[in-house]
Amino acid sequence: MSEKSERHLIQVNFETHTLIGDVLSRSNSPQVLVLHGAGDSNRGRFQMLREDLFAEGISSVAFDFVGHGDTGGDLKGSSLSSRTRQACRVVDSLNLQQPFSVIGASMSAYTSVKLLQHYQIKSLILLVPAMYTPQAYSIPFNQGFSDIIRQPQSWDRSDAWRILADYTGRLLIVAGENDQIIPRGVINRIYDSAVNAAERELYMAPNASHFVFTDLRANNPAEFDNVFGQICNMLKE
């Protein structure tokens, strides 16, 4: 980072858990909510990106979902519905000034879309985005969730398409050309659904896997600079 950051930890009560996160900002209200993905992910995955954004004058908040990172807890008992409620709890606790922007990765791209039903969101940046059928929304991850989402093209029945059709803000989709996790049909459907977006862009990272930023930083820094510039343009006024 070229500038000194101002980072402070946050603790937000959610049901029987305490969500742990941090704010990287010089103002009282961060401009961007950053949501990490599933698996072994946590907010630390986006520390470098957030610091790069901060150097460009873009503040952010991120937290670890239940079952991840510093928050900890039982991931198996969580759900997509719980993740939406966790994100809402953080937004409400910090009283984020609307409209704000959201960066959501993988599973949390769907969470980001669900937030459109609750808040005014200026810019939506979806990284290697996954989308899900409503049938899986409230099912705990250890109670048949995987069986539902592994049904052929279960994502085709997602409620995300209707929600995105009503979105009038700015949309950037970042996908990996060699992503073996997210079907290309999901990427195209997200773009095609956002018919009323003020602006919509699809960036396909060449030769990149599901770990787009890791691949670009290591193998194609010029392309990383390219997509980072697009992200900044989407987030700035």
98-108 pLDDT per residue, tens: 999 999 999 99
What's the pTM value of the predicted model, to 2 decimals?
A: 0.94
Q: How far is CA 96 from the centre of its chain?
A: 16
Q: CA-CA distance, 40 to 67, in Å (whole number)? A: 9
Helix (H, G, I), strand (E, B) or coil at 33: strand
pLDDT band at 186 (very low <50, low <70, confident <90, very high): very high
* Range name among 125-129, 139-143, 194-198 with the lowest pLDDT average: 139-143
pLDDT at residue 39, rounded to an integer: 81
Burial pattern 79-117, b for ≥16 Cβ within 10 A else e, equals bbebbbbbbbbbbebbebeeebbbbbbbbbbbbbbbbbe
Q: Mean of the pLDDT values across residues 171-187? A: 97
Using the predicted structure, report yes or no on whether residue 72 has a pLDDT greater than 80.
no
For 7-235, which CATH superfamily applies?
Alpha/Beta hydrolase fold, catalytic domain (3.40.50.1820)
Instruction: State pLDDT tens for residues 29-57.
Output: 899 999 998 888 889 899 999 999 999 99
pLDDT at residue 47, rounded to an integer: 94
The distance in angstroms from the start CA to the end CA of the chain is 22
Q: Mean of the pLDDT values across residues 157-174? A: 98
Using the predicted structure, report yes or no on whether residue 81 has a pLDDT greater than 80.
yes
Asked if 80 and 111 touch (Cβ cutoff 8 Å), the reply is yes
Using the predicted structure, report yes or no on whether residue 3 has a pLDDT greater than 60.
no
Q: Mean of the pLDDT values across residues 154-158? A: 95
pLDDT band at 2 (very low <50, low <70, confident <90, very high): very low
Half-sphere exposure of 2 (CA within 13 A, CB side): 5
pLDDT band at 237 (very low <50, low <70, confident <90, very high): low
Q: CA-CA distance, 55 to 194, in Å (whole number)? A: 30
pLDDT at residue 123, rounded to an integer: 99
Q: Which tokens hold the place of 219?
A: 């193998």
Q: Mean of the pLDDT values across residues 181-189? A: 97
Q: What is the mean pLDDT of the chain?
A: 93
pLDDT at residue 1, rounded to an integer: 35
